[in-house]
């Protein structure tokens, strides 16, 4: 009886903790969604569920000639998609090289990857600005994409390398005996087995351009090149502009592509968790 009571108390504590975390996460989302339905523009005095709610702010974002929301959305999707694909490709190549090859400077290269993660990104902003200005990529989406891809390599390559290290080398040797080259081994053996960690890399790098504000703020200058984070900021920061409800409507819509990509990659994430549990 004492054992059952102890297990019951533990389950109650776990579910209670999960419930508190769920409320903490869900409340801001509900409050933002309710704010987006408020027909006014003020941040204060708005109920979570407004009485006279409407979708006027969502309609304005997509139909008003003065709204550049669709342009910002398109720019962000371009940057996010290119960053996700590019990062996954380059991270896979770098991680494969560090996992399977033995070359001069390999150990110091891994240490460098770890060391780069210790410094905040803000330290490199001035250097990034000057470099992009020198190569003519300042105020361009391609400049932003290249910075995102380059910045994602150190940490992600270290993670993917660790996953590659768990794949038996006997598979490589068997493929080499059958005449397979390095690239064939990578694309036919390593990458299919590493889908779970690659899905994580792709998802996180897809999410980054939707959430980041500082880097686009430094690189982009023209309104037609703005990403969503930078464009929505103008709703509450531009002169004579404090439209928080319109800002909330635009923010809610950011979750749609991220949720779709997560659903597309979900089976790989789940398979990675279940295979890890089985191997353990």
164 and 81 within one domain:
yes
* Count of domains forming the chain: 2
Give the end-to-end CA distance of the chain in Å, rounded to a whole number: 31
Separation CA 223–CA 230 (nearest Å): 9
223 and 178 within one domain:
yes
pTM: 0.84
245 and 117 within one domain:
yes
Q: What is the DSSP string of 15-34?
A: HHHHHHHHHHHHHHHHHHHH
Asked whether the predicted pLDDT for residue 20 surpasses 50, the reply is yes
38 and 72 within one domain:
no
| Least confident range of 43-47, 69-73, 172-176, 187-191 | 43-47
Range of the domain at 194: 68-279
pLDDT at 275: 46
pLDDT at 277: 36
Separation CA 231–CA 16 (nearest Å): 39
Q: Enter the tokens of residue 222.
A: 């023209």
Among 59, 76, 96, which residue terminates a domain? 59
> Confidence class of residue 278 from pLDDT cuts 50, 70 and 90?
very low
90 and 53 within one domain:
no
Separation CA 48–CA 38 (nearest Å): 9
> Confidence class of residue 146 from pLDDT cuts 50, 70 and 90?
very high
Nearby residues of 236 by Cβ (< 8 Å), 6 or more positions away: 242, 243, 244, 247
């Amino acid at each position: 009886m004492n054992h059952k009571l102890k297990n019951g108390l533990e389950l109650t504590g776990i579910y209670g903790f999960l419930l508190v975390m769920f409320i903490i996460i869900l409340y801001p989302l509900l409050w933002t969604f309710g704010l987006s339905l408020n027909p006014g523009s003020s941040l204060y005095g708005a109920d979570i569920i407004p009485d006279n709610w409407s979708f006027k702010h969502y309609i304005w974002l997509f139909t008003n000639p003065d709204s550049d929301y669709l342009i910002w959305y398109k720019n962000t999707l371009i940057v996010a998609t290119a960053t996700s694909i590019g990062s996954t490709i380059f991270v896979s190549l770098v991680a494969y090289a560090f996992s399977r090859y033995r070359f001069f400077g390999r150990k110091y290269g891994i240490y460098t990857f770890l060391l780069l993660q210790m410094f905040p990104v803000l330290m490199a902003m001035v250097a990034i600005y000057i470099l992009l200005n020198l190569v003519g990529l300042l105020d361009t989406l391609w400049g932003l994409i290249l910075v995102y891809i380059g910045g994602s390599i150190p940490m992600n390559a270290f993670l993917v390398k660790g996953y590659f290290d768990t794949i038996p080398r006997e598979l490589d040797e068997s493929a080499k005996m059958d005449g397979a080259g390095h690239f064939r081994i990578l694309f036919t053996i390593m990458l299919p087995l590493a889908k779970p960690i690659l899905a994580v890399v792709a998802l996180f790098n897809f999410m980054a351009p939707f959430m980041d504000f500082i880097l686009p703020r430094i690189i982009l200058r023209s309104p037609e090149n703005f990403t969503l984070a930078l464009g929505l900021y103008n709703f509450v920061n531009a002169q004579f502009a404090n439209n928080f409800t319109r800002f909330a409507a635009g923010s809610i819509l950011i979750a749609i592509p991220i949720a779709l990509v997560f659903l597309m990659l979900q089976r790989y994430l789940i398979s990675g968790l279940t295979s890890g549990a089985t191997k353990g």
